[in-house]
Amino acid sequence: MRIFIAIDLPERIKDEIEKIRKGLRGIYGKPVEKENFHITLKFIGDVQPNIFEKIKEELNNVKYNKFSIKIGNIGTFGDRVVWIGIQEGYEDIINLHNLIDEQLYKIKIDRDYKFSPHITIYRIKEIINKKEFKESVEKLSKYISDDILIDKFYIKQSILRTQGPLYINMAEYKLL
């Protein structure tokens, strides 16, 4: 089973992100589906059922207070991925990630050494018009969301399909 740990986003925010994603111009590729918008806290990958059970158990020991974030600003990872960043609450996401990382290291899940919280909105195959793409990113980067309450996180299963991945919540963890 292929898994990762993530924060889900409210529907109203997913609707706003979808509008932003639809405003991107000058690129060809795979837009991330609205239902798949999330903030990854830790990608784990393929695990056996016994390891999955250990992960579920260990995550019960993660204690962190609820917090709020704001998202905004658009960036890219090279010419491959378009993402929306975290404007406020960045440190809280980093701290939550670090707690999860430390807890899972106890059961020999490797630590993440580079973690940059973001929401992937588009996987680029080709930039057709660089100027048009750059202009659309600059225009859309003015967006900053309202407060988003982060009060839980999930273990998600990722099922890869030709029409795009399917993410299934396998376990939920409430913040304090």
Distance CA 92, CA 88 (A): 9
| 97 tagged catalytic | no
Annotated catalytic residue within 3, 9, 17, 38: 38
Catalytic annotation, pick one of 118, 124, 133, 156: 118
Is 38 marked active-site? yes
Cβ–Cβ < 8 Å for 39, 13: no
Q: Catalytic residues, which ones?
A: 38, 118
